[in-house]
Amino acid sequence: MTEFTYKHRNDNGNTARLDNWGIDSEYGVLTDLLVGPIDNYTWQMGNAASRRSVRLGRQFDPAVAKRQHQEMLDAYKHAGVTTHLLPADSNLPYQLYARDSSVMTPWGPIVTQMYSPWRRGEWVDVVKTYQKLDIPIYDIITAGSLEGGDFMVLEPGVILCGYSGERTSPQGFNQMKSWIEKEGWEVKGYEFDPYFLHIDVLVAALAEKLVAVCVDAVEPELVQWFKSRNFEIIDISYPQVMELGVNVVALGNDRVMLPADNTELKEKCRARGLEVIDPDISMITAGGGGVHCMCQPLARKPA
């Protein structure tokens, strides 16, 4: 049993890595996953995707959303992933998106600070869940905002973090960056337009040195940065991005989970020899978040 603490981080760096928890990449073999509950989910008008769904005449059906959520959980179980479900709070309609309220590192999770008023209470059940699982917290963001959809453990030694000034602010980004750099890791920051919510709408890690990117929607500087690090880029079209077409979860061993509607990336992944698992979550993605948004990896075997 690991001693639970709200600050496992060593101020001077060299923080001890966790033995049974933690991740050092987005593509190591996924063994344990924190997943948000569907119980109180409704579309909120605080993002472009949900507003677009309403404008197009789509209607939210909670029964369909719950059925699709269960299909996703069954897919994880079939893939050998143990899912840990956050307890549901009726005051938190976007608690489903467990990616955002904390982020996992090799040294433990960082509890984040949420931007939207209807999400600010999500930290409570996140902290309780880490305590229940005996996972010590690395630290807690206290400067500005930082949300997990902007944070990627891209590969061992490298964090990619987007910031738009809203869901992740420069202050929150810089606080996290100062901690991670003291551990000897690189933190690559990328500033983007808040229209896109989080960077995981634009970029996804699929496997070692393989990423999906909507090249038309990011600055050339980010594309060049990936190329300078010898990443192969699968380019995804802008219309697919509007349907959460880059929001996927790498399961490790050349397997990816992506929405059934994500036909463009599905075909391109299979063309590169990746195995695709594709539950239908269309009722959920219409509200502004896909499979990547709904989960936070708790443990991956090193790639």
The answer, yes or no, to whether residue 267 has pLDDT greater than 90, is: yes
The answer, yes or no, to whether residue 1 has pLDDT greater than 70, is: no
User: Which residue type is seen at 235?
Assistant: D
The residue among 36, 38, 29, 147 whose CA lies nearest residue 83 is 36
* Domain tally, the chain: 1
The parent domain of residue 259 ranges over 29-301
Each residue's pLDDT tens digit, 19-69: 999 999 999 999 999 999 999 999 887 777 788 888 989 999 999 999 999
The residue among 223, 143, 136, 204 whose CA lies nearest residue 177 is 143
CA distance 294 to 208: 22
- Domain assignment of residue 233, yes or no: yes
- Domain assignment of residue 11, yes or no: no
- Domain assignment of residue 20, yes or no: no
Q: Which range among 47-51, 212-216, 269-273 shows the weakest confidence by mean pLDDT?
A: 47-51
- Domain assignment of residue 226, yes or no: yes
- Domain assignment of residue 284, yes or no: yes
- CATH code of the domain in which 52 resides: 3.75.10.10
Tell me the average pLDDT across 188-206.
Answer: 94
- Computed over every residue of the chain, the mean pLDDT equals 95
- Domain assignment of residue 4, yes or no: no
* Predicted TM-score (pTM) of this structure: 0.96
Q: Burial level of 229, CB count in 10 A (0-12/13-18/19+)?
A: middle
Tell me the average pLDDT across 207-225.
Answer: 97
pLDDT at 52: 85
pLDDT at 302: 83
- Domain assignment of residue 16, yes or no: no
- Domain assignment of residue 9, yes or no: no
3-class SS string, 56-102: CCCCCCHHHHHHHHHHHHHHHHHCCCEEEECCCCCCCCCCCCCCCCE
Each residue's pLDDT tens digit, 116-172: 998 999 999 999 999 999 999 999 999 999 999 999 999 999 999 999 999 999 999
Report the share of the chain in percent with pLDDT over 70: 99
Each residue's pLDDT tens digit, 66-90: 999 999 999 999 999 999 999 999 9
